[in-house]
Amino acid sequence: MSFENKWVRAAIPALLIHVCIGSVYCWSLLKGDIATEIGCSVSAIEFAFSLAIFFLGMSAAFGGRFVEKNVKFASLLSCFCFCFGLLGSILSIWHKSVLGIMLSYGCLMGIGLGIGYLSPVKTLMLWFSRHKGLATGIAISGFGLSKVVFSPFIEWCNATHGVVTTLGIMAGISAFAMILAAALIHKPKHWVEPNIKWNLTDYYHVIRNATYLKIWFVFYLNITCGLALISFEKSIGQAVGISAIAALSSLTAFFNTAGRFGYSTLSDLTPVKEKIYKIIFASSCIAMLFGSIYMSMVVIIVMLCVINAGYGGGFSTLPTLLQSKFGMDKISTIHGLALSAWAWAGLSGNQLSNLIINQLQMPYTTLFMVLTVLYAIAFFITQSISKETFNG
């Protein structure tokens, strides 16, 4: 059996990396126990998650060229930062340090998230050259699937052995899986990485390009709206009488993963990649509008599933959309730059819901109407994305 194939050298390593780093979305299951162990309120450490997402986006934004040069080393660096971020969180709990949680779970682990998220994408697209959407869907669906995989373990281990043990086991599992992924991952032998030297002028030409700016902004809006809803999913479900919140969480996590895989696979069927974003924004806008009008259990469940699918699909279709506009040679760098939108959305998404629901004391229907307008704006911006490619 030959190990030189797209599954061993690309798909399996990508899944191993993304399933591990995707456990960052299990923060809601960890934060209460971490706060209790430190002896502080949950709100005192809540910003650690926002920091992790911010550093994810910014490390991806500035790490694209580094990842393209040596994907194996990038995967190992991701493993180091991610696992030591988890271990640093244990030390912070032992020393009752809120600042330590910010630096370890937030900053250090966030850097590991960004490098790890980006590192397998170009390799997958090279191996699956005829089905690039399927390739990115494989990897990025792993990021969504992680919550399904880790949630039952975290709940059991927290209750049985405590959060310190949980974090330690997560670090051990992630270290083994990510080191194995780094050993396996490899670009096709026929591929010769072009020696493209980028400077600040090159970055400037990209970020001032109108098509790039439109893609960046609609990506930002999709994440902001998704996080605004997902961060209040539990309370929204309770407001319409849903008692089985765990089942609701599993259902929406499934649609998040299905959206990542389904929308990216669908993108292989159309040469005009921005059409997928139009579908995502149109369906999300309609779902939010119905949710704002009919605050019923069935409508809200459907709305949450549609939004989660579009949230995941926005991530998985971004690489192929960017590749169709900017080409393959620069894809890791430009994809990384675009992921900076995730960083800023991570700071603004849940804050938008917090402002409307908690600070202004407005009903959920008001939040839904605001998100409907934002999705509509994203849809109309997508309509104007140029069909021209960038040559810069």
Q: Which residue in 63, 83, 82 sits closest to 71, CA to CA?
A: 63
pLDDT of the residue at 1: 46
Which residues in the chain come in under a pLDDT of 50?
A: 1
pLDDT of the residue at 235: 82
CA distance 385 to 260: 22
Retrieve residue 330's tokens. Answer: 């620069």
In what helix (H) or strand (E) does residue 25 lie, and over which residues does it extend? none
Residues 238-257 as b/e (b if ≥16 CB within 10 A, e otherwise) read: eeeebeeeeebbeebbbbbb
Q: Which residue in 124, 110, 42, 46 sits closest to 78, CA to CA?
A: 110
CA distance 203 to 82: 27
Helices (H) and strands (E) in the chain, counts: 20, 0
pLDDT of the residue at 100: 97
Please check whether residue 314 is in contact with residue 219, taking contact to mean a CB–CB distance below 8 angstroms.
yes
CA distance 50 to 72: 28
pLDDT digits (tens, 9 = 90+) for 329-350: 778 788 889 999 989 998 888 7
pLDDT digits (tens, 9 = 90+) for 61-116: 888 778 878 899 999 999 999 999 999 999 999 999 999 999 999 999 999 999 99
Retrieve residue 200's tokens. Answer: 């600040």
pLDDT of the residue at 129: 80
pLDDT of the residue at 125: 84
Task: Go through the domains of the chain in sequence order and give each one's CATH number.
Answer: 1-188 (1.20.1250.20), 197-386 (1.20.1250.20)
Retrieve residue 31's tokens. Answer: 């934060």
pLDDT of the residue at 388: 57
pLDDT of the residue at 18: 93
- Give the chain's length: 392
End-to-end CA distance of the chain: 43
Model pTM score: 0.83
pLDDT of the residue at 197: 67
Please give the full DSSP string across 247-313, using - where no structure is assigned: HHHHHHHHHHHHHHHHHHHHHTT-S-THHHHHHHHHHHHHHHHHHHH---HHHHHHHHHHHHHHHHH
